[in-house]
Structure 1
Amino acid sequence: MTETPTPQPANTPTTHHPYGTPDTPHVTVRGEAHLEVDPETAHITVTITARGTDRRTTLDDLTRRNTTTLDLIKSYGDTIEKLETGTLTINPELTRHGRAERIRAYHGSIQHTVTLADFTTLGELTARLADHELTRIDGPWWSLRPTSPHHATARRQAVREALQRAREYADALDTRLGALLELSDTGTHHSPLGRAAFAQAMPYGAAGAEAAGDAAPIDLEPVRQSVDAQVEASFTLIPPALG
């Protein structure tokens, strides 16, 4: 029994040869965009430490310092976008005494990461935290949010550049573009243009400075962010007259 082929709808798109033909030549171009923008967020890492000859005393001291630090950070309310606790450690320091090892001291630490978008608050908070006893500040690190509109702006610019470049090739052949065959996103990313105007690691604060509300704010200069986008686009060309 012979089957009758099913007729294809009239609007079925024509399959194009991947490398083009004399009747439907192709042009493939690359579009790129590069933006330099101000950061949207900054984060710092706060490491609180304690040391003592007794495990329980060391833990209690660390808990007290941690509570003081968290109370200070949370006092800034909604200007703190995110507060996350990382690692907590309590470990003994051993020393040899004859043939045996003995515990000389206990060391404790706890680490928090603070994210802010208010950079004025950042300078003030950093100064107050750095003035706390046995507290270390690392950062700040500047960034854009994953949902930042700058990413979309860069992608649109890359597409416009690809289209402009394809039109220039068509114009050089004294013809024009036909249809878009393919548009590929080959990458969008951002990175800081330089290091922050603040030491990556601030030393531990001086002892006895827990009530450091009068610490002068640190003047911080945000690092501008580099946003890059690349696309590849393929178009058909109206066959040019090359004679």
Structure 2
Amino acid sequence: MSSPPPQVAVRGEARLVVDPEIATLAVTVTTRARDRQTALERCRAGQDAVAAVLAAAGASVEAVETAGLAVYPEERPGHAAGSAATVSSQVTVGRTDDVGELVVALGRLDGVTVSGPHWQLRPDSRVVEEARLAAVRDAVHRARQYAAAVGARLTALLEISDVGLSSAGPRFAAPVAALARFAAEELRLDLTPAPQEVLGAVEVRFAMSEPDREVFGG
């Protein structure tokens, strides 16, 4: 029985650093009143004001999702008992250059808190595919180097396993804005998008030709 051909197993890796494709903002409306009904009515009015700002942003805003709602009694020392209402939304902005302007517009609204932005790639970003394929190319390159080092060459692909992809997130901390209201009419915020790092890894096994015996002094 002939012995199986020698093999070489390698791990290929790739690290891509790219600009973010989207940003998300957390927008919270908080209102207080002597009774729950009024607190809720004011909260709805605050929501309408937020919706108007988001509508004015046009195609820059890709999605608005409700993240949480709370209505609760509130007692503060020196004040009559009352009620408070909050509603939080997650806003997805598809044009990162427009984030600063949108944050300022939302921050001018009374009773509105804006936090973020959180920079990220789209779930279906082509960068994910690029990282995966780059990892395969790295594995082939490494395997060829190892085979050549012993005087052999790759002859067949035996196995390829997707170790996975991961996002290392921003390389630098993303700026955070916690804003109440702005007075300056021409206020602008310069927000620098944080670069995104995507890591890809694969494990690949190849068959190779018999090594050159002279490499081992044989």
Corresponding position of 1:228:
199
Distance 1:42 1:221 in 2: 11
Change (3 A) 1:23 1:63: closer
Corresponding position of 1:164:
141
Structure 1 residues 54-203: aligned runs within 5 Å: 54-94=35-75, 104-190=81-167, 191-196=169-174, 198-199=175-176, 201-203=177-179
Distance 1:23 1:113 in 2: 57
Per the TM alignment, residue 240 of structure 1 is displaced from its structure 2 partner at its CA by: 2.0
Q: 2:81 is paired with a residue of what secondary structure?
A: strand
Give the conservation status (yes or no) of the 8 Å contact 1:185–1:231: yes
Change (3 A) 1:69 1:215: farther
Alpha-carbon displacement from aligned partner over 1:132-156 (angstroms, at most 9, x marks no partner): 1111111000000121111111111
Distance 2:76 2:91 in 1: 36
Per the TM alignment, residue 112 of structure 1 is displaced from its structure 2 partner at its CA by: 1.0
Question: Normalised by the size of structure 2, how large is the TM-score?
Answer: 0.89
Change (3 A) 1:160 1:95: closer
Q: Is 1:237 the counterpart of 2:208 in the alignment? A: yes
The structure with the largest alpha-carbon Rg is 1
Give the conservation status (yes or no) of the 8 Å contact 2:67–2:90: yes
37-46 or 110-119, which deviates more: 110-119
**Shift >4 Å, 4+ stretches:** none
Decide which of 174, 178, 181 is 1:205's aligned counterpart: 181
AA matched with 1:133: D
Change (3 A) 1:215 1:106: farther
Q: 1:202 is paired with a residue of what secondary structure?
A: coil
Decide which of 51, 72, 78 is 2:32's aligned counterpart: 51
Count residues with an aligned counterpart. Answer: 210
Distance 1:172 1:195 in 2: 43
Distance 2:181 2:57 in 1: 21
More helix by share: 2
AA matched with 2:137: R
Corresponding position of 1:4:
none
AA matched with 1:205: R
Instruction: Structure 2 unaligned segments of length 5 or more: list them.
Output: none
Give the conservation status (yes or no) of the 8 Å contact 1:41–1:145: yes
Instruction: Structure 1 unaligned segments of length 5 or more: list them.
Output: 1-20, 97-102
Q: 2:64 is paired with a residue of what secondary structure?
A: strand
Identity %: 37
Distance 1:22 1:172 in 2: 22
Distance 2:146 2:30 in 1: 64
For the aligned residues, what is the CA RMSD? 2.0
Question: Normalised by the size of structure 1, how large is the TM-score?
Answer: 0.81
Corresponding position of 1:3:
none
Distance 1:95 1:37 in 2: 48
Per the TM alignment, residue 95 of structure 1 is displaced from its structure 2 partner at its CA by: 7.4
